[in-house]
Amino acid sequence: MRRVRERAYAKLNLTLDVLRKRPDGYHDMEMVMQTVDLYDTVDITLNDVPGIEVGISRDDLPKNLHNLAGKAAAEFLNFVNESVGVSVYITKNIPDKAGMAGGSADAAAVIRGLDKLLETRLSDKELLELCAKVGSDVPFCLRGGTALARGRGEVLTDLPALPRCGIVIVKPDFSVSTPALFGALDGQEIENRPDTAGFLDLLKAGDLPGMGKKLYNVFEPVLPPPERETVDAIKAHLLRNGALGACMTGTGSAVFGLFPSLEAAKRVKPLPYATFFASPVEKTV
């Protein structure tokens, strides 16, 4: 086999808490993460001439080794001591700078695809260690489903699947600086945090309306005022249109709402922003 096509699924943060800044400069996190069926398509091809090439369907996004998918290919080949050529082409559907791990999902798809193409049959532990070298969200993107993520995001605990539901994702026309948001949190006491334990109890019980009320992201209060106003307005619109709860994902700027069904989600009145409709996805490996 010389070519494989992988789906790179987006993620959402159902809860997001930043616990502390670590001596290594990273932050300890605690997050309930969920894969959804909005995905990029990643084509991976083996070549006879060594080298890594990454192409992408959008001209404004990085290519080759400047792309996280290229870094993933390099880490994989180094780990298995292979010198084959690898060509990757990514067809983007996940919005970038949205807090949905689009780049990390592409990188995970490359690692998953190369494991198949080269028939290396790496263990789950080896694959996850490789993913963690590439980026904090990459291990979760490799496994998918519903998980509690700790550490930088690479320490994963599988959770019961999120009940079937509809999800509306709205991407406003601005991006948010991740370092700036972490810096803002480092400079103050976090007054409100997600009730992660309570959320996990509701998840175990399959109580979707209860989970909707527990969605929370500690980055929302430290958004710059204009961006926070937009995020709050999108959340209010989703709630008025029947969402069980709404929240920003990651460091933004995408906002999502949980609905009882996909049909209910698709009845939401449109907003003047890019809007996507999705459903939860169970584990991808």
Omega before 253 within 30 of 0, i.e. cis = yes
* Sign of torsion over alpha carbons 21, 250, 42, 142: positive
Q: Among 98, 173, 181, 195, which residue's Cα sits nearest to residue 137? A: 98
pTM: 0.95
pLDDT at 128: 94
Catalytic residue among 40, 71, 137, 171: 137
pLDDT at 26: 87
Residue 53 CB-density burial (10 A; 0-12 exposed, 13-18 middle, 19+ buried) = middle
Helices (H), the chain: 68-80, 102-117, 124-134, 138-143, 178-186, 196-205, 208-214, 225-240, 262-265
CA distances to 5, 45, 52, 203 from 118, rounded to whole Å, are: 14, 11, 15, 38
Catalytic residue among 11, 71, 171, 214: 11
The gap between the terminal CA atoms of the chain, to the nearest Å, is 20
Give me the domains of the chain, ranges plus CATH numbers: 3-158 (3.30.230.10), 166-278 (3.30.70.890)
CA distance 224 to 183: 12
86 and 52 in contact (C-beta within 8 Å)?
yes
10 and 112 in contact (C-beta within 8 Å)?
no
- Per the annotation, the verdict on 137 as an active-site residue is yes
62 and 101 in contact (C-beta within 8 Å)?
no
pLDDT at 206: 98
Q: Among 197, 133, 164, which residue's Cα sits nearest to residue 264? A: 164
**Local confidence pLDDT in tens for the 285 residues of the chain:** 699 999 999 999 999 999 999 988 889 999 999 999 999 999 999 998 899 999 999 988 888 888 999 999 999 999 999 989 999 999 999 999 999 999 999 999 999 999 999 999 999 999 999 999 999 999 999 999 999 999 999 999 999 999 999 999 999 999 999 999 999 998 788 989 999 999 999 999 999 999 999 999 999 999 999 999 999 999 999 999 999 999 999 999 999 999 999 999 999 999 999 999 999 998 766
CA distance 260 to 243: 8
DSSP letter (8 states) at residue 250: T
Instruction: Compute the half-sphere exposure of residue 146: CA atoms within 13 Å on the CB side of its CA.
Output: 17
pLDDT at 88: 97
pLDDT at 218: 98
